Structure 1
Amino acid sequence: MVSLFKRKKQNDSGSSVRVLFTSDLHASHTVFKKFINAGKIYKVNGLIIGGDIAGKSLVPIIDLGNNKYNVQDKIISSNELNGLIEKFKSEGTYYAILSKSDYEEALQNKKLQDELFKNAIISTIREWMRIAEERLKDYKIPIFINLGNDDPEYLFDTLKESEIFRVGEGEIFDFNGYEIVSYGYVNPTPWNTFREKREEEIYKDLSKIVSRISNYSRAIYNFHAPPYNTNLDNAPLLDENLKPVVRGGEIVYTHVGSKSVRKIIEETNPLLGLHGHIHESRGFDKINSTLVINPGSEYSSGLLHAALIVLEGESVKAHQFILG
């Protein structure tokens, strides 16, 4: 595989184009920094993030005074707190430092809890922006990014504050002669997340979006939901209590991807499909002539899952999964 990355063949728009793709970072500071650094190491022309950038949980930290804090019923010192905060940031857990009275008020006030969550999400994204702009300022590597199903809509406004991020649901971006388009809604899940739609709605949206693409053989679909019935959409089958079904001592898996995403790929045959959403289903597949990829995710362990893709003309010359 490594030898493929040394090819010097020219395409009709110049030399090969290198892309690094990841998805489902879920607020892991460590994974985001690794992704940015990997972009420099692999000398890519562009970075793509497929959505689900927001975290899922927030831990209140109660300031007891005298450099003592209560974290999940454990009393720790300020020195211990610094290490714990770094751990939270690595695994994608938000935190809020509150006085005892503010904490007690938040317990009874759902609106205040939502506000604390919102502030933590926005603060983290703005920190990521500063990191990306600082580390990539001499490289001029664009970051194409979109929201996934677990991301609240207000994050679009936050992401657009950055000069380095290219964000827009359904907007078509020119990238070294290729067209990148993103879409973050997914087919219904058992968890009723922020951005879900029925299959017929997804198909209607996608049909309208991709109709504006000028050349499908140079199109890159950054769609958060993986196409149905592929190597990218295997997830545990759940029972009525949302617990994995186990038969013969083994977890039963089923396909949970989007039939609409698959249909639109079958109809238009883009060059490349980049997907996420199903963390445990890292893999690649082919739908007609289209290569589709899901790098998987282990964000809570601070591990970067990514895919390095080399494009030449109207073909994918190489692709390689990266884990680190």
Structure 2
Amino acid sequence: KYTCHYFDKKWDFETEDEVSQMEKRLASVGVLSLRCTEAEVAELQADEAKVTQVIHDAILARMEEWLDLLVERVDTRKVIAVTMPGNDDSPDIDGLIKSYQDRGVVYPLDRVIEIMGHELISLPHVTPTPWDTPREMTEEQLEKEIDKLMQKVKNPRQAIFNFHVPPYGTSLDMAPELTKDLRVKADLGQFYFSHVGSKAVRAAIEKYQPLLGLHGHIHESDGLERLGETITINPGSEYEKGILRAYIIEIIEGRVDNYLRISG
């Protein structure tokens, strides 16, 4: 007999097939599951460091599955498959991505990637969060990092900013406000939102006016917004529903000719 606990829900299963189906359901919405005995559960409850290591190993294993799927489904001889870590990712993720470079996966940090004549620069860091994630910087640090990257760019107006954190004060950076105990602020069912993007990123976009800004980080704040001549995009995320969201962007003769939001 098996028992599955997920937040405040509980399921009981009798067969291996039922357990496998539940594992697939959880994986489809981005949840990492672990099979263990009652004794192993007690051992984990008594050792926080071991829990952290188990989660870390599971994340690396899942990322490896995704990279295997990428090189299996995408012809990297014809497609530039840029794969960048985000603010929640530990440094080990970088090494894993780099290990796939001989199979055509492109690791973009600390360098300029040329895509059809456009220079792409990437930044995984975000402004400080309540969760103290692995890749956070102050606005001053972000400004210096962007300036350092821009020294490598020859044509800023035709550049692509692949910056995980969106520009501050836009439709791309609205996140729910939190209480001190990290609960979502609400009043009579109404949630409160505020801007949590980067002022340094916005200032850089306004200064350099790149062709395109590709952003993420704030899952609830999908959208597209112009900052001067620059189109900035955040596809948002619904991974908890098993939905992948993205944009197809068409660039012709140095301008964004068309774009299409997709999900599946």
Q: TM-score if structure 1 supplies the norm length?
A: 0.75
Question: What is the Cα deviation at residue 250 of structure 1?
Answer: 2.6
Aligned residue for 1:151?
A: 89
Cα distance per residue 1:84-116 (max 9 Å; x no partner): 011111011112222443332222122221221
Cα distance per residue 1:240-281 (max 9 Å; x no partner): 343333457532222111001101111111110000111111
Q: Which runs of 5+ in 1 are unaligned?
A: 1-67
Between the aligned partners of 1:273 and 1:287, the Cα distance in structure 2 is 10
Partner letter of residue 70 of structure 1? T
Q: Which runs of 5+ in 2 are unaligned?
A: none
Closer, same or farther: CA 106–228 of 1 in aligned 2, 3 Å:
same
Aligned residue for 1:173?
A: 113
Q: TM-score if structure 2 supplies the norm length?
A: 0.91
Query: Relative contact order (alpha carbons < 8 A, sep ≥ 6): 1 or 2 greater?
Result: 1
1:258 pairs with 2:198 = yes
Q: How does 1:27-42 map to 2 (within 5 A)?
A: none
Partner letter of residue 205 of structure 1? E
Question: What is the Cα deviation at residue 168 of structure 1?
Answer: 3.3
Check conservation: 2:77, 2:104, Cα contact below 8 A. no
Aligned length: 257
Indicate the SS of the match to 1:292.
Answer: strand
1:297 pairs with 2:230 = no
Question: What is the Cα deviation at residue 181 of structure 1?
Answer: 1.2
Cα distance per residue 1:262-313 (max 9 Å; x no partner): 0111111111000011111111111111110001110010112111100012
Between the aligned partners of 2:187 and 2:42, the Cα distance in structure 1 is 45
Instruction: Give the superposed CA RMSD.
Output: 1.8
Indicate the SS of the match to 1:227.
Answer: coil
Aligned residue for 1:309?
A: 249
Aligned residue for 1:130?
A: 68
* Bigger mean CA deviation after superposition, 240-249 or 292-301: 240-249
Residue 220 of structure 1 is aligned with which of 150, 155, 160? 160
Aligned residue for 2:148?
A: 208
Between the aligned partners of 1:285 and 1:138, the Cα distance in structure 2 is 30
Between the aligned partners of 1:245 and 1:92, the Cα distance in structure 2 is 25
Q: How does 1:4-83 map to 2 (within 5 A)?
A: 68-72=1-5, 74-76=11-13, 77-83=15-21
